């Protein structure tokens, strides 16, 4: 029962930071496109790269949750 | 239900296990071998049909890689490894969406309950594979650094005795700065291990989580509802392959950049 709680909390709390980070990255990208609509193509790839890095932290939390649930 | 580790399907010579992700890896290798042999046999300067598609793909990848590195000749050196990584990871990620991967399996007894062991499993959802290619990428970046800079310049990025030696001419303040840079160089060694870990875990986590999500979706509602999730998995497959290959390219480029001297 404690194992269930631990793995659920690991991914739930671990997802808060990356969610905020991805939202901020997206909002800055939207702002940049709003100021300069032609730059949309140039902004796409760096934005996706930044989002992949931010999402990686959530993936670390997910891996810990999976380890707690299935291995320990 | 779904196990984090890949399950062995059969054993070669009685002791060497062949897991379900290895079977998928062999299928991926076979696909690339066949495509490579076809392209080599029928290569020409005015390609048509399938070869045109291959030509277009490689040219697009080369242009994107050149935007990152900046210099066409270095891009040519790094391109084979990064593009191969990209294409192989992309194929492996997308193969997880085909019907039969994850559902065709063998019923086995584990403890007291009967579970289904799938015969196929996407190879990037196996931590062994992602760890292997992450180590390979980082080691390849270091080898490129050693080749293009020479061993002394490459080693002085991490263990910077040369900076301390040179700073003696410039006065005590510069020596303190050089000592700090020496410690930063030692920390860089730790960050190399962090790179390996983050590359492997990012790819593994994304694809494995996608597999779990799709399995749960299929077992809940088998027909129209999993479609948005399959589309998400298509997108995630492309993005993760791009991120892995792009990061490898950036590591190779930064390893073979000569150390920037900062004092005027």
Domain boundaries in chain A? 2-70
Alpha-carbon torsion B44, B48, B54, B59, what sign?
A: positive
Predicted TM-score (pTM) of the model is: 0.85
Contacts with A53 from chain B: Cβ below 8 Å: 243
Per-residue pLDDT of chain B (264 residues; tens, 9 = 90+): 577 788 888 888 778 888 888 999 999 999 999 988 888 887 777 767 788 888 888 999 998 888 888 778 888 888 999 999 999 999 999 998 988 887 888 887 777 788 888 888 999 999 999 999 999 999 999 999 888 888 888 887 788 777 777 777 777 788 888 888 888 888 888 888 888 988 999 999 999 989 888 888 888 888 888 899 999 999 999 999 999 998 999 888 888 877 654 443
CA-based nearest residue in chain A for residue B207: A59
How far does A35 lie from chain B, in Å, by closest CA?
A: 24
CATH number of A2-70: 1.20.20.10
Interface check A66 vs B, CB under 8 A: yes
Q: How far apart are the first and last CA of chain A?
A: 13
In this complex, do A49 and B240 lie within 8 Å of one another by their Cβ atoms? no
Burial level of B116, CB count in 10 A (0-12/13-18/19+)?
middle
Domain ranges of chain B: 8-255
With an 8 Å Cβ cutoff, are A62 and B202 in contact?
no
Whether this model's ipTM surpasses 0.90 comes out as no
**CB-neighbour burial class of residue A27 (10 A; exposed 0-12, middle 13-18, buried 19+):** exposed
Show the tokens assigned to B11.
């054993």
Chain B stretch 182-201, residues whose beta carbon is closer than 8 A to a beta carbon of chain A: 198, 201
DSSP for B220-259, please give it. Answer: H--SSTTHHHHHHHHHHHHHHHHHHHHHHHHHHHHHSSPP
Q: Is B132 on the interface with A (CB under 8 A)?
A: no
In this complex, do A48 and B242 lie within 8 Å of one another by their Cβ atoms?
yes
Q: Which residue of B has its CA nearest to A60?
A: B201
| Residue B125, burial from CB neighbour count under 10 angstroms (0-12, 13-18, 19+) | buried
Total residues found in chain B within this entry: 264
| B32 CA to centre of own chain | 16
Which residues of chain A have a CB within 8 Å of the CB of B243?
48-49, 52-53
Beta strand residue intervals within B95-215, DSSP E:
105-110, 113-118
């Amino acid at each position: 029962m404690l194992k269930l709680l631990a793995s659920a909390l690991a991914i739930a709390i671990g997802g808060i930071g990356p969610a905020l980070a991805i939202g901020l990255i997206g909002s800055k990208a939207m702002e940049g496109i709003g100021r300069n609509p032609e730059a949309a193509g140039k902004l796409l790839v760096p934005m996706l790269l930044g989002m992949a890095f931010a999402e990686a932290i959530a993936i670390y939390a997910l891996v810990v949750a999976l380890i707690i649930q299935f291995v320990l | 239900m779904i196990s984090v580790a890949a399950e062995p399907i059969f054993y070669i010579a009685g002791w060497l296990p062949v897991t379900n992700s290895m079977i998928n890896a062999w299928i991926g290798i076979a696909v690339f071998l066949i495509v490579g042999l076809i392209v080599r046999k029928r290569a020409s300067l005015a390609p048509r049909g399938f070869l045109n598609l291959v030509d277009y793909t490689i040219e697009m990848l080369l242009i994107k890689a050149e935007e990152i590195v900046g210099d066409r000749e270095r891009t040519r050196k790094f391109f084979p490894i990064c593009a191969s990584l990209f294409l192989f990871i992309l194929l492996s990620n997308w193969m997880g969406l085909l019907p039969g991967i994850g559902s065709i399996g063998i019923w086995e007894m584990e403890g007291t309950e009967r579970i289904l062991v799938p015969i196929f499993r996407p190879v990037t959802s196996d931590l062994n594979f992602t760890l292997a290619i992450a180590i390979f990428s980082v080691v390849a970046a270091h080898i490129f650094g050693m080749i293009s800079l020479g061993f002394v310049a490459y080693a002085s990025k991490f263990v910077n005795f040369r900076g301390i030696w040179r700073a003696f001419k410039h006065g005590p303040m510069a020596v303190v700065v050089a000592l700090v840079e020496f410690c930063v160089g030692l920390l860089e060694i730790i960050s190399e291990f962090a790179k390996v870990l983050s590359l492997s875990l990012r790819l593994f986590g994304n694809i494995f989580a996608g597999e779990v999500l799709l399995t749960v979706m299929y077992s809940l509602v088998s027909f129209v509802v999993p479609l948005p999730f399959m589309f998400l998995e298509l997108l995630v497959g492309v993005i993760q392959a791009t991120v892995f290959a792009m990061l490898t390219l950036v590591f190779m480029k930064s390893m073979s950049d000569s150390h920037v001297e900062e004092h005027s």
